[in-house]
Amino acid sequence: MKPVKVGICGLGTVGSGTFNVLKRNAEEIARRAGRGIEVAQIAQRRPNPQCDTGSTPITAEVLAVADNPEIDVVVELIGGYTLARELVLRAIANGKHVVTANKALIAVHGNEIFAKAREQGVIVAFEASVAGGIPVIKALREGLAANRINWVAGIINGTGNFILSEMREKGRTFPDVLAEAQALGYAEADPTFDVEGIDAAHKLTILASIAFGIPLQFDKAYTEGITRLTTADVGYAEALGYRIKHLGVARSTDQGIELRVHPTLIPADRLIANVNGVMNAVMVNGDAVGSTLFYGAGAGQEPTASAVVADLVDVVRAMTSDPENRVPHLAFQPDALSDHPVLSIEACESAYYLRIQAKDHPGVLAQVASILSARGINIESIMQKEAEEQDGLVPMILLTHRVTERHMVEAITALEALDDVVGDVVRIRVEHLN
Ligand code: HSE
């Protein structure tokens, strides 16, 4: 059988990794796919001296790959929303299958892209868009198809996890670790996407759609980054038996779907609390299976290439099948997607860690407790430290039971208005994941 011809668009970290893995494992991949997979064209805007592309035809015109009649599958690895969207839509219009690692593109334009792909009867595969080399999309879409998914919680940004791990373990500074993550090719072109949680929100949007059978709704995801975390809070969390991780949480409730990315305290004895460095991990809780945990490299050249090439193998196996009988892009049949709403952050519920800087006066704790109890907020534990030498203020750390964000925001406003409370109250959400 003739090999399937692939055009790789973008020869950066992931593109060159994909080229190399396809070349190195060509025989093994052909044994799996049933046909060879040949890179017949590469589009690259800048040469990549790290990648020996041999005699493979190269073009600087990305869209030329979508128009090349020789190409069966376009692999989109250029990133971004604009040219990538044009490329993918053009490839689909030309009847080509698409493999992409572009989470921003899928989270923001996925509904449009999948609708066009259905019209044309082509596949758009995007395993590499979430959690790098971990096959979590396949697991959620196919392996867990029996379940009603209750929640998904994941460390899904390798750069952010690398930064938090290095800061906690080695006391390194934020800019120093970020620079290393950029040099290693983990960070996004705009690293604020990593540290402000936008990249994780793109991935969580995709996971939530596949988990709950809802359209992609990135604009409704709540996003909070890690830039305001202090070493003091990391230390207090440890003392209370928790680790702070930048977590994406998607939870199905009767009222709607929670979709939120933020720093989160997790009990230190949970496996996911011990996922460090650039590694990612995604927990999925289903009604039949219970909790599952998927772990692996969430970024990097060959781990991400591993997912791209697995998608290529899937496409090659399915390209001759009846489009109606293929696995739906978002796991559920397109006419069976649900309109269960995505909740605003005010309506979301979690436990909280609060750090209050209080004057060392009698009765402050009683006032704090009274504000919380008036709003039905149950305190789980309190830790009060010695007054700090420089300012004489007493750090008071509280853990609460679960409460809606709306009630917690009201309580924090009241706490900050107390004469004996100085500055902002620090609040970090807590998830027990049990
Ligand atoms: N910047 C992303 C990360 C790359 O650090 O996880 C993989 O999506």
Q: How far is the CA of 119 from the centre of ligand 1 (A)?
A: 31
Ligand 1 binding pocket mutation candidate from 188, 198, 206 (most atoms within 8 A of CB): 188
Mean pLDDT, to the nearest integer, of 129-142?
97
Mean pLDDT, to the nearest integer, of 317-344?
96
Residues lining ligand 1, CB < 6 A? 132, 157-159, 186-188, 194, 199, 298-299
Strand, coil or helix: what is 327?
Answer: coil
Residue 206 burial (CB < 10 Å; 0-12/13-18/19+)? Answer: buried
Provide DSSP, 49-70: TT---TT--EES-HHHHHH-TT
Give the pLDDT of residue 186: 86
Which position among 96, 103, 203, 245 bears the catalytic label? 203
pLDDT at 156 over 90: yes
CB 134 within 8 A of CB 295: yes
Q: How far is the CA of 304 from the centre of ligand 1 (A)?
A: 10
Q: How far is the CA of 288 from the centre of ligand 1 (A)?
A: 31
Ligand 1 binding pocket mutation candidate from 155, 182, 190, 194 (most atoms within 8 A of CB): 194
pLDDT at 185 over 90: no
CA atoms within 13 A on the CB side of 311: 31
**pLDDT band for position 391 (50/70/90)?**
confident
Ligand 1 binding pocket mutation candidate from 159, 164, 180 (most atoms within 8 A of CB): 159
For atom 7 of ligand 1, the residue with the nearest CA is: 299
More confident residue, 207 or 184: 207
Q: Which two three-digit tokens encode residue 14? A: 């992931």
What's the CA gap between 14 and 78, in Å, rounded?
A: 9
pLDDT (tens digit, 9 = 90+) per residue, 191-248?
899 999 999 999 999 999 999 999 999 999 999 999 989 888 998 999 999 999 999 9
Q: Which two three-digit tokens encode residue 371? A: 């504000």
Name the pairing type of β-strands 97-100 and 279-286: unpaired
**pLDDT band for position 387 (50/70/90)?**
confident
CB atoms within 10 A of CB 368: 24
**CA nearest neighbour of 323 among 95, 141, 35, 144:** 95
Name the pairing type of β-strands 349-358 and 394-400: antiparallel
**pLDDT band for position 175 (50/70/90)?**
confident
Give the pLDDT of residue 252: 98
Atom of ligand 1 nearest to the CA of 160: 5
Query: What mean pLDDT, rounded, does the chain reach?
Result: 96
CB 285 within 8 A of CB 291: yes
Q: Respond yes or no: is residue 138 known to be catalytic.
A: no
Q: How far is the CA of 93 from the centre of ligand 1 (A)?
A: 29
Strand, coil or helix: what is 168?
Answer: helix
Name the pairing type of β-strands 426-430 and 349-358: antiparallel
Name the pairing type of β-strands 97-100 and 37-43: unpaired
Give the pLDDT of residue 392: 84
pLDDT at 277 over 80: yes
Q: How far is the CA of 236 from the centre of ligand 1 (A)?
A: 28
Mean pLDDT, to the nearest integer, of 62-85?
97
- Answering whether pTM is above 0.95, one says yes
pLDDT at 389 over 80: no
